[in-house]
Amino acid sequence: MTAITLELAAEMGLAADEFERVHVLLGRPPNFTELGVFSAMWSEHCSYKSSRRWLKTLPTEAPWVICGPGENAGVVDIGDEQALVFKMESHNHPSYIEPYQGAATGVGGILRDIFTMGARPFASLNCLRFGDPKHPKTQYLLEGVVAGIGGYGNCMGVPTVAGECTFDARYNGNILVNAMTIGVADSNRIFYARARGVDSPVVYVGSKTGRDGIHGATMASTSFDAGSDEKRPTVQVGDPFTEKLLLEACLELMSSDAITGIQDMGAAGLTSSAVEMAAKGEGGIELDLDQVPRREAGMSPYELMLSESQERMLMVLRPGTEAQARRVFDKWELDFAVIGHVTDTGRMVLKNQGNIVADMPIKPLAEGLSYDRPWSDPPTPATLPPLPKVAPMEALCSLIASPDLCSRKWIWEQYDHTVMADTVLGPGGDAAVVRIHGTNKAVAVSTDCTPRYCEADPAKGGAQAVAECWRNLTSVGARPLAITDCLNFGNPEKPTVMGQFVRAIEGMSEACRALNFPVVSGNVSFYNETEESNIPPTPQIGGVGLLDDWRHGTNLALGPQCEQILLIGDGSGHLGQSLYARYLLGKDAGVPPPVDLKFERRNGDLVRRLIKAGFVTACHDISDGGLLVAIAEMCIAGRRGVNLDIDDNPSELFGEDQGRYLISTTSDALNQVLDQSHVADVPVRSIGEVGGHTLTLNSANAISISELINMHGRWFSSYAATG
């Protein structure tokens, strides 16, 4: 028998005072299984012990919000008795250790979060942050992660429609892989993770339990070191074909009245699903581990409870429906086993071979711990030094061809973004648009964050991430509804890192309130550091919006007509933390651009009205790279030229002032656009017109659109070809 010591507890991730608290709660020393259960449930990944206090300050309510944070995913009403179910999750550490399986199981996990609530997934996104492209491991990680996402998502038949991929040396030792999925459900048929009804059967369905992924939640709650590759056994192995069967079986049974509660087995496996369901049902649970389907002989109670084998669900059924449920899962050739029942004891009791092997209180397991970590404000960045002047087209060509801004086509071509035949706008624009099947309604989705802004000023960076997501949804004509987040930070035990988190939350909260854009789900990923080097703070935002009719939206591609290009909004030409400054200085420098949320709201509301009225033929928000880059992206998307009449100073062309849009409009609609802008008190000015096959600046500097397209598409294809 394994001796239960402080050293063993530390190996499982429990601090000395936490280990002592377990003793107090049990009134005795824990056994090996109980210690494992407590360590998993009290890990950072499961308990949110460093972030919970601050997460409670985020706005989470709106008239259209059906379910906010605390369940598997958030739920918002979209009318016609339909609801969107969506969430974003991280799978950072597993993807660094084993990129293919780490990314694949990240996709599988977020898909289960969605259909667990009774929704059919119809779109996925991902946000990828890699290290320096020249780092010897970056290409291997990139190729493995992209293959894993495509391999799992394509087999599931869920289109991957949007996302991000950036490179920064600060992610060399700790990449980020954040996955988001959206599903649609009947608004009156949402399923929750609640175990209710004493003696109701607790049922295990899906794949068998193996030894993969044991203590994955604990691994995700620690920093990396030089020996992190040895943690491969903690990375789960996924099977998308089994998950597809599980999805269909669950949705089929959900069409009956058999299920009263359901929870997927994600982080901490059977442990977390059983504890969370019992806690939300305000009762207890008793499990007979002999009944758990397993694929390996001799598995201990500890292994059965902590395994993170994929494609599994835990259900509570209405008594008397077991045979009905079994028939469904037999039909789909999935395991089905009654492994326990609901109690009213407030405890989790585990039995194995007729003996009680664990007996623990539910409430402290589920509530976990909550720390008020000390924090301090990050240092203020130095003032941006004077920048040398570079010829505008030279700068544009360098930026558009760089890893920061080049086409991500090499990635999205490996994903199926048209399966289901409802994708209206796929990857490469401000937001993807996917039609709600059988209707004219459509959902716009986008993911956004600018880590260099967040590192320089976490509050501004947090607000900007929310605002940019809101702008991207607006740019396709959608009404923004709500966000999910994935908050990726370093070690919260360091006051400066905790300060980054606190300030980012403050900025996010302010922006969400100003834009009426509540947070309905999310995830926190701490300890993203390797050998004391933290990642840049990366509060990733995933937003959804609604188009009442997908035919009345727009995109960034310039059309064939001879149209006016209008700049919506104004700015001072802010170059701090811009990609232009990075290009010239070789590093990020200066303070990030200010975020005026009243300005954001006013300008965005106008843009949506103009799009809805049919006055806008193309629209693009101005973000990374500034105005000239945004114009170039519109030219590339539409394969059309533009003649610009605008000051050629760097601040005007490459400043990253927020809250601005570029639109194209016909001559017939121009006066109406100007009139509405005047009424809304929004600055608007004409800066050029569509025409020809070159991007021309002030009739002097010109570059062909074909050359822009070639430069924009060159880097990724060349980089991938060297592998």
- CA distance linking residue 316 with residue 261, whole number of Å: 5
The set of residues, in sequence order, having a beta carbon less than 8 Å from that of 421 and lying 6+ positions away, is none
Closest CA to 95 of 610, 549, 553, 488: 488
Contact 439/172 with Cβ under 8 angstroms? no
For Cα atoms 225, 137, 130, give the angle at the middle one, nearest 5 degrees.
85
- CA distance linking residue 213 with residue 233, whole number of Å: 6
Residue type, 240: P
For residue 507, list its beta bridge partners: none
Contact 106/130 with Cβ under 8 angstroms? no
91 belongs to the catalytic site = yes
Closest CA to 121 of 479, 422, 464, 534: 422
For residue 294, what is the DSSP state? B
- CA distance linking residue 606 with residue 622, whole number of Å: 16
6-45: buried (b, 16+ CB within 10 Å) or exposed (e) per residue?
eebbeebbbeeebbebbeebbeeebbbbbbbbbbbbbbbb
Residue of 23, 91, 215, 712 marked catalytic: 91
In the β-sheet with 160-167, what is the strand arrangement from edge to edge? 65-67, 74-77, 82-90, 176-186, 120-130, 160-167
For residue 19, what is the DSSP state? H
The set of residues, in sequence order, having a beta carbon less than 8 Å from that of 589 and lying 6+ positions away, is 381, 382, 384, 385, 576, 577, 581, 582
For residue 76, list its beta bridge partners: 65, 84
Contact 169/135 with Cβ under 8 angstroms? yes
Contact 553/611 with Cβ under 8 angstroms? yes
Within 13 Å and on the Cβ side, how many CA atoms surround 433?
27
* Helix, coil or strand: residue 309: coil
Strands 432-435 and 423-425 turn out to be antiparallel
Strands 684-690 and 701-704 turn out to be unpaired
Write the CA distances from 384 to 49, 169, 338, 571, 577, integer angstroms: 37, 21, 64, 18, 8
Tokens matching residue 640:
């059309």
Q: How far is CA 335 from the centre of its chain?
A: 31
Return the residue matching tokens 């086409």: 407
In the β-sheet with 335-343, what is the strand arrangement from edge to edge? 259-264, 312-317, 201-206, 335-343, 284-288, 347-352, 355-361
What dihedral do alpha carbons 606, 610, 611, 616 form, nearest 10°? Answer: -120
Residue of 23, 45, 215, 437 marked catalytic: 45
239-259: buried (b, 16+ CB within 10 Å) or exposed (e) per residue?
bbebbbbbbbbbeebbeeebb
Going 316 to 319 to 325 to 327, the CA torsion angle's sign is: positive
620 belongs to the catalytic site = no
Q: Where are the beta strands (DSSP E) in 23-155?
A: 65-67, 74-77, 82-90, 120-130
* Helix, coil or strand: residue 642: strand
Tokens matching residue 102:
């780490």
For residue 685, what is the DSSP state? E
Active-site residue list: 45, 91
